[in-house]
Structure 1
Amino acid sequence: MKLFIKNMVCNRCKMVVKSELEKLGLRPLAVELGEVEIADDLQGYQRQDIHSALQKFGFALLDDKKSVIIERIKNLIVDLVQNKNNQLQTNLSDYLSKELRQDYTYISNLFTQVEGTTIEQYFIAQKIERVKELLVYDELSLSENAYQLNYSSVAHLSTQFKKVTGFTPSHFKQLKEKKRNPLEEL
């Protein structure tokens, strides 16, 4: 049985969800961002137990189809930006359509209607947060950051960064107080 869970945005989230399900006596077979496969069917009371256990950590069970699609879009984008953006061999719309097995126009309109922002704007916000993270760590050059996040050039990254944050990447790097946002708040 599959469960869909809102606000799973990182590997730590996957570990917490798996641990909580195991504490409830459930057997998770696979735990991915926003999605858990469990071995058994749920009884009515178990669903409420799961809801209560996960809610303590800021997660929520999703029941309706539209919410599941929105959460899957967000999780695919987060995974793409955090783990494999420079491996993207196609454009974002084709990638999402293929992964979700849905028409892009439908998922794009649904996302905009529910979230109040476009998929592209959400994708850019995720990429900029990743750039901020990489700038704070100061391990890679701006050129390497641009490559890692599949920007066509450093200039494109810098322009988009300034448009979103109001700062150039180098100015942001010099700030004493780093202004990063939690992924689940984007």
Structure 2
Amino acid sequence: MELYIKNMVCRRCVLTVDQVLSELDLHSLSTELGIVKLKEQELTMDKQEQLSKKLEGLGFELLEPGKSRLIERIKNIIISKVHHSETLDLKVNWSQIISSDLHHDYNYLSALFSSVEGITIEQFIIRQRIEKAKELILYKELNLSEIAFKLGYSSVQYLSTQFKQVTGQTPSQFKSSVTANLQRKPLDSVGD
């Protein structure tokens, strides 16, 4: 069972939430920023209420299943557009796409996403675009100009700047590194 917890944005928060779970005799399979995977498949109403009260007392909020689904849908929209489109439009309006697909105000979705994930939607988009750039660099079918165009960057320089900010390497350094294949991340963990 997955639980989404608002305001869980640092490693200390993870430790605190793990302690609360332990106190309530709940078993965490993994605890990450904003997300807890429990061994338990379901929680009784009483256990869920206890957990919610303890978390609220520490400044956290246990999100309703609908809110957690919104976050997953935001991620899916972005992943689909970045990784499964032929070419990203240079002027793609992410806020409009996300809010119209999910029928919610973008400011609400953005605040919810940030409070749970610990990064903004914009940062998540950048990380996804860079992950796609890594993939295209490894395939060696496109040059950097073609990759920049495909991913909706206005120039190779802009792609290179963001690439270095995210990875610590220029695209050329990444391309020539022997361990480039090991530097890719699973798509669902790119926001981490």
Q: Which residue of 1 is the match for residue 75 of structure 2?
A: 74
**CA offsets, 1:74-124, max 9 Å, x none?**
000000101225247541111111111110000000000111110000010
The 3 A distance-change label for structure 1 pair 127 and 70 is: same
Q: Which residue of 2 is the match for residue 64 of structure 1?
A: 65
State how many pairs are aligned: 125
The answer to whether residue 171 in structure 2 is matched with residue 169 in structure 1 is yes
The whole-number CA distance in structure 2 between the counterparts of 1:94 and 1:100 is 10
Give TM-score scaled by structure 2 length: 0.62
Q: 1:111 aligns with which of 97, 108, 113?
A: 113
TM-fit CA distance, 1:185: 1.2
1:9-24 equivalences under 5 Å are none
Confirm or deny: 8 A CA contact 2:90 2:153 kept in the other structure: no
Extract unaligned runs of 5+ from structure 1. Answer: 1-47, 49-62
Give TM-score scaled by structure 1 length: 0.64
The 3 A distance-change label for structure 1 pair 161 and 90 is: closer
Q: Secondary structure at the match of 1:86?
A: coil
Q: Which residue of 1 is the match for residue 139 of structure 2?
A: 137
Q: Which residue of 2 is the match for residue 18 of structure 1?
A: none
**CA offsets, 1:128-171, max 9 Å, x none?**
00000101111001001001100111110000001111101011
Larger relative contact order (CA 8 Å, sep ≥ 6) = 2
The 3 A distance-change label for structure 1 pair 134 and 182 is: same
Q: Which residue of 2 is the match for residue 160 of structure 1?
A: 162
**CA offsets, 1:10-48, max 9 Å, x none?**
xxxxxxxxxxxxxxxxxxxxxxxxxxxxxxxxxxxxxx7
Moved more, 137-146 or 80-89: 80-89
Q: 2:98 aligns with which of 96, 101, 117?
A: 96
Return the letter of the residue paired with 1:183. L
Return the letter of the residue paired with 2:127. A
Confirm or deny: 8 A CA contact 2:90 2:154 kept in the other structure: no
Extract unaligned runs of 5+ from structure 2. Answer: 1-40, 42-63
Q: Secondary structure at the match of 1:123?
A: helix
The whole-number CA distance in structure 1 between the counterparts of 2:90 and 2:72 is 20
Return the letter of the residue paired with 2:152. N
Q: Which residue of 2 is the match for residue 185 of structure 1?
A: 189
The whole-number CA distance in structure 2 between the counterparts of 1:160 and 1:87 is 17
The 3 A distance-change label for structure 1 pair 73 and 152 is: same
Q: Which residue of 2 is the match for residue 128 of structure 1?
A: 130
Q: Which residue of 2 is the match for residue 34 of structure 1?
A: none
Moved runs in structure 1, 4+ residues, more than 3 A?
Answer: 87-90
The whole-number CA distance in structure 2 between the counterparts of 1:141 and 1:71 is 32
